[in-house]
Amino acid sequence: MLYVEHLSKTYAGERESLRDVSFRLARGQFVAVLGPSGAGKSTLLRAIVRQIQPDGGRINFQGIDLATCSTRELQQARAHMATIAQQFNLVRRRTALENCLAGRLQDLPFWRCCLNRFPDEWLRAGLLALGRVQLQDVAFQRADRLSGGQQQRVAIARALMQRARLILADEPVASLDPASARRVLELLRSLCHREGLTVLCSLHQVELALTYSDRILGLRDGQLVVDCPTREFVPEIGDRIYGTFPALEVATSRNNAVARPSEF
Ligand code: ADP
């Protein structure tokens, strides 16, 4: 579904933020991106959707090279990709349902957007998307009245409404309490395994990556230093990403780990 080949990026006046990064993502995988602060995780996710222009390399998504394609092709490709951010990026005064419908706004004539007039089938699809993230009950509540975990689940429902096949999640649980964080990651994982979505998700809690992901990409100083199935992650692999890495953390996470599909 996504091939990233020899991707590089240097911001003006900075050292290289991404250096010759290559990997492939298959459909239906939950892939965690780990790395210390400043390792290049956000830069990688932003380059994939071309929120920033990479300096070199290829990003092949469903047959289109996003690094060099035309604006029109980029728009077509972006229709199948959604981004989820730490701060949810919802319109606070709008309801959960209206935020969810925003996933399809590009398909609606401008006058309908202005008047907030959505086709009936959209309203049904929006309620279904909210149902898939267990939020049908709060569909008509304002986004800013929802908890952080609920808001992040609305952002996921918006991605479902958009019919995204690839979700790029940049620290999606960094501002959530532990229980809400687990619920959001559980949900993303189940969307991958049950519905064939692909999720590339940066995380700073290794324990969560070990518990929920199928595969781990590790970045250090802009280089991809680890690409392994999560079940093969051992403390020595953590060392490659972070320097010294506590063995205890891997052991604890293994004990908490939920069932994973056997194939990588
Ligand atoms: P991470 O997400 O792993 O914390 P980032 O991708 O945010 O890492 O940053 C990687 C490197 O790129 C850092 O050295 C950071 O200072 C630099 N960087 C990130 N964004 C910008 C920017 N907009 N302008 C200049 N440098 C940036």
Per-position pLDDT tens, the chain of length 264: 899 999 999 999 888 999 999 999 999 999 999 999 999 999 999 999 999 999 999 999 988 999 999 999 999 999 999 999 998 889 999 999 999 998 887 776 666 666 677 788 889 999 999 999 999 999 999 999 999 999 999 999 999 999 999 999 999 999 999 999 999 999 999 999 999 999 999 999 999 999 999 999 999 999 999 999 999 999 999 999 998 766 556 655 666 554 443 332
User: 95: which 2 tokens?
Assistant: 């309801």
In this structure, which residue's CA is closest to atom 22 in ligand 1?
Answer: 11
**Residues, the chain:** 264
Indicate which atom in ligand 1 lies nearest the CA of residue 222: 10
pTM assigned to the model: 0.89
Q: How far apart are CA 2 and CA 62, in angstroms?
A: 7
Q: In what order do the strands lie in the sheet with 30-34?
A: 81-85, 166-170, 198-202, 30-34, 215-220, 223-229
User: 100: which 2 tokens?
Assistant: 């969810």
Q: Report the separation in Å between the CA atom of 175 and the middle of ligand 1, taken as the mean of its atom positions.
A: 19
Q: Report the separation in Å between the CA atom of 43 and the middle of ligand 1, taken as the mean of its atom positions.
A: 6
Ligand 1 pocket: which of 21, 42, 51, 52 to mutate (most atoms within 8 A of CB): 42
DSSP state of 95: B
Question: Parallel, antiparallel, or unpaired: how do β-strands 215-220 and 30-34 relate?
Answer: parallel
Q: Report the separation in Å between the CA atom of 38 and the middle of ligand 1, taken as the mean of its atom positions.
A: 6
